[in-house]
A = this chain, B = another copy of it.
Amino acid sequence: MSVLPDLAAIEALDAADPLRSFRNRFVLPEGVIYLDGNSLGAASSSALAELEQAARQEWSQGLIRSWNKAGWFDLGLKLGDRIARLIGAAHGQTVVGDTTSTNIYKALHAALALRPDRKVIVAESGSFPTDLYMAEGVVATRAGTSLKLEGVDAASIEELIDESVAVVLVNHVNYKSGALRDMAALTKRIHDAGAIAVWDLCHSVGALPVELDAAQVDFAVGCTYKYLNGGPGAPAFIYAAHRHHNHIQQPLSGWWSHARPFAMETTYAGAEGISRFQCGTQPILSLRALKGALDDWDDVDMQALREKSLALTDLFIALVEARCGAYGVSLETTRERERRGSQVSFAHENAYEVMQALIERGVIGDFRAPSTLRFGFTPLYTSYRNVWDAVIILEDILSSGIWKEPRFAVRTTVT
């Protein structure tokens, strides 16, 4: 962005935005510029309506009959296939249920079972930590297995991939920096070494087009409460390539993964297909809010989404550097568009206090220790004008030094 736009140019961008009508589908608070949809997505009218229908009609009035009549039992499979388009997956390879953490556990076990002669799991030290903690749990339950980390055992993940490696667990977009991995290239590198690729899509699904089948990914997991707007803590999803379906062995073998769950058999027999990655009874109310959110996604052109995402993040970087560069902010996210997700991080020595001051002024981003200001740009409900206004407020906070007031230094439990 060589010439900084003025307000008229910003307004022209919004007027020409092919996604601008989506904003009307969301219920957002007055006076807030929400740049944290990468942590918790906003509520759409459709999500709220589905939730109410599920609670007031299907649960209250249908009671147990709704397991059949309202299709609750297959909901995880149906919603998985709704997400499939967003992640480049053909039918029948994706199921919604449990948490990202739990699904990582399943995927790593399944991958290790496919490579019984190999014992090394590779991951990133810069990963969202639960991925590593779950990998440690897997190591504890598979004798001889070990975990090697990029940033600890080698500088790059590629250096760690050799013929001892069974599985590589890697984040598509880094939760903190917003860095985007080249999925196709890294998956090929992993396969060339004979290993299995498990991708964590938490910060890419709904933020940009993902092409799992085209990249020949083996397994993937992801979250539905960030860009997908499924509601706080909405259940996660797991993807397994068709070619592995006859070979899935995962130890969270609950009754929903059984070939005949209602036959009440004493012995486990895994279901065909992606169902084998299910486990126990799922939280239907949360799933139904997600269903409503996915109704909105059916109408989204993923290329238009990506173009707007990059335009928003380009604009934010340019405006912050032009207006706030003198106040100690430095870009942590790459300027390279092909390597960027839909979020931008800036470092600042007093990032915690600055973020608290921003939130007080209605600009909601988040802080990541020790010094990161993180801003997420959700193309469905963020306008160019939002970006413009947010930067003016950030400039005002930094130039006035108001963030130095003691109230902004009070730490709360969760940020």
Instruction: Give residues in A with beta carbon < 8 Å to B.
Output: 27-29, 32, 34, 36, 39-40, 42-43, 48, 51-52, 54-56, 58-68, 72-73, 98-102, 105, 109, 125, 128-130, 132-134, 136-138, 140-143, 149, 152, 176, 223, 225, 231-236, 249-258, 261-268, 279-287, 289, 359, 364, 366, 368-369, 412-415
Decide: B143 and A143 in contact? CB cutoff 8 A: yes
Decide: A253 and B136 in contact? CB cutoff 8 A: yes
Decide: A413 and B98 in contact? CB cutoff 8 A: no
Decide: A140 and B99 in contact? CB cutoff 8 A: no
Asked, given contacts A27-B60, A280-B130, whether A252 binds B285 with beta carbons under 8 Å apart, the answer is: no
Whole-angstrom CA separation of A301 from B84 in the bound complex: 49
A357 to chain B, nearest CB (A): 15
Q: Which of B34, B43, B223, B253 contacts A55 (CB 8 A)?
A: B43
Decide: B140 and A249 in contact? CB cutoff 8 A: yes
Decide: B32 and A63 in contact? CB cutoff 8 A: yes
Chain B residue nearest in CB terms to A223: B281
A277 to chain B, nearest CB (A): 13
Decide: B262 and A415 in contact? CB cutoff 8 A: yes
Q: Which of B68, B262, B369 contacts A263 (CB 8 A)?
A: B369
Q: Which of B59, B129, B256, B262 contacts A255 (CB 8 A)?
A: B129
Contacts of A413 in B (CB 8 A): 68, 73, 262
Asked, given contacts A63-B364, A264-B369, whether A137 binds B252 with beta carbons under 8 Å apart, the answer is: yes
Decide: B63 and A36 in contact? CB cutoff 8 A: yes
Q: Which of B42, B231, B265 contacts A285 (CB 8 A)?
A: B231
Decide: B102 and A59 in contact? CB cutoff 8 A: no
Whole-angstrom CA separation of A63 from B378 in the bound complex: 14
A375 to chain B, nearest CB (A): 12
25 pairs, A vs B, C-beta closer than 8 Å: A27-B60, A36-B64, A43-B59, A51-B285, A59-B231, A64-B366, A99-B281, A101-B279, A102-B252, A105-B252, A125-B266, A128-B264, A129-B261, A129-B265, A130-B254, A133-B254, A136-B267, A137-B250, A137-B268, A140-B251, A143-B143, A231-B283, A232-B283, A262-B414, A286-B286
Contacts of A251 in B (CB 8 A): 105, 137-138, 140-141
A sample of 17 more A-B contacts (CB under 8 A), given A100-B281, A129-B266, A223-B281, is: A29-B60, A48-B55, A72-B232, A98-B98, A99-B279, A101-B255, A101-B279, A132-B266, A140-B251, A140-B253, A176-B264, A225-B281, A232-B285, A233-B282, A262-B413, A264-B368, A264-B369
Asked, given contacts A40-B64, A368-B264, whether A283 binds B280 with beta carbons under 8 Å apart, the answer is: no
A303 to chain B, nearest CB (A): 28
Q: Which of B39, B231, B369 contacts A64 (CB 8 A)?
A: B39
Decide: B414 and A279 in contact? CB cutoff 8 A: no
Chain B residue nearest in CB terms to A36: B64
